Amino acid sequence: MSTPDLLYSEAEDDLRAAVRSLLADRCPPSAVLAEAEGHRPYDPALWRSLAAEMGTAGLLVPDKLGGQGATAREAAVVLEELGRAVAPVPYLSSAVLATTALLGCDTDEQHVARLLGALATGRAVGALALPLSTPPGGAAPPATVTARGDGALTGRVAAVAGAAGAEVLLVPAEGPDGYGLYAVETAALGAAGAPGATDTPGTAETPGAPDTAETPGAPAVPAVPGVTVEPLTPLDLTRPLAALHLTAAPARRLAGPDRARAAVGRALTAGAGLLASEQLGLAEWCLTETVRHTKERHQFGRPIGSFQALKHRMAGLWLELVSARAAARHAADALAADSPEVPVAVAVAQAYCARVAVHAAQECVQLHGGIGMTWEHPAHLYLKRAKSDEIALGTPGRHREALAGLVDLPAPAG
């Protein structure tokens, strides 16, 4: 068993600098606040720059399939920076969850390769049609959608991250041949007029909404019969959730029972492991911003950061961040190396990093005083993202329970 490499390579540092520069220019806190009050599922211009122009959407996809041929380590660096900016882009849902699920299918099949190419080049956005709270590990999550013999899907999936604005929906369903993974395309994925080539993300039919995008002058995006995406009101407005309703929706089967279960399980594991890096980036911003504020805010003629009690709180949080970085990097490195330690590394990372992110966001709000409680300050965005991430892809308690089973550490007898 190789020793985990927790350090960043020069290439990873360069990638971080590029992503951070883009987000600083295109995604400052004021822009995120404004986007949170809008009705778009994500910022299409920012997504095009990040996913297509920088190529980050294809980091996990091999070169021969149109991707960058990188690993989970590079994807983790991108997610750290997205967490620092609470960026309203579907990176986790499309470039990680949907892409990893497709990679678990037979990529030699033309249909699978075509979908992977569209996602890897940023021409389309994908979503894995499972509730965001679905944890990895164990048996494949039960399907709430049924498939007919011709592949048409019927059913409902609640709280799907990234479903609004996705052109490719990957739907686990029970069919005549058992469990399977199906693809529902809500828009044509041609190279020239592909979704993502304009500033308007493709959308499936939404109750009460017209079949055209809201942006004036934007081309109409056709809705698919039998597919309704019902936007929900999430706690975290920067990561929209939606309920997916399917009524005899046309679909194509990508994988059969065993392969479909493995692909979905692999996607959930990768998503949970890389989510820890987003939580790390979020916590880092909260600590950095809190330190900056306490240096500038004065009471009794001195910076409040010089008070011993606040020093202790921030020092304690810094120590938590150091441990969180080690846990998140271990998970990313294990995923990159396809190590047998992946389940343990992911469980440790999620059990620990989720709690650190919430604690950091709480401290950020509290130590900012009154301004931290206002809508105008971005601290509430970080607290909401942290709380949302805490239950995404399994709660810390669920991951601790999984870890206990993996390392054979039974709970004390009651």
Give the span between the Cα atoms of 304 and 366, in whole angstroms. 13
pLDDT at 320: 97
Per-residue pLDDT tens, the chain, 414 aa: give them: 678 889 999 999 999 999 999 999 999 988 898 888 777 878 889 999 999 999 999 999 999 999 999 999 999 999 999 999 999 999 999 999 999 999 999 999 999 999 999 999 999 999 999 999 999 986 667 788 999 988 899 999 999 999 999 999 999 999 998 999 999 999 877 543 344 443 444 444 433 333 333 333 333 333 678 999 999 989 999 999 999 999 999 999 999 999 999 999 999 999 999 999 999 999 999 999 999 988 887 778 788 777 888 889 999 999 999 999 999 999 999 999 999 999 999 999 999 999 999 999 999 999 888 887 887 888 999 999 999 999 999 999 999 999 999 998 877 765
Burial annotation 301-317 (CB, 10 A radius, 16+ → b, else e): eeebbeeeebeebbeeb
Q: At what angle do helices 257-296 and 72-85 cross, to 10 degrees?
A: 40
pLDDT at 193: 36
pLDDT at 216: 32
Are 232 and 222 in contact by the 8 Å Cβ rule? The answer is: no
Pairing of strands 227-231, 241-249: antiparallel
Which pairs count as long-range contacts for 363-366, CB under 8 Å and 24+ apart, including other chains? 363/286, 363/287, 363/290, 363/313, 363/314, 363/317, 364/286, 364/287, 364/289, 364/290
Give the span between the Cα atoms of 302 and 320, in whole angstroms. 27
Which residue(s) pair with 228 in the sheet? 205, 245
pLDDT at 414: 58
Pairing of strands 126-128, 168-175: parallel
HSE on the CB side for 71, CA within 13 Å? Answer: 15
Are 104 and 267 in contact by the 8 Å Cβ rule? The answer is: yes
Token pair recorded at residue 182: 């199906």
Question: Residue 110: is it exposed, middle or buried by C-beta count within 10 angstroms (0-12/13-18/19+)?
Answer: exposed
Pairing of strands 252-255, 178-185: antiparallel
Give the span between the Cα atoms of 274 and 76, in whole angstroms. 6
pLDDT at 308: 85
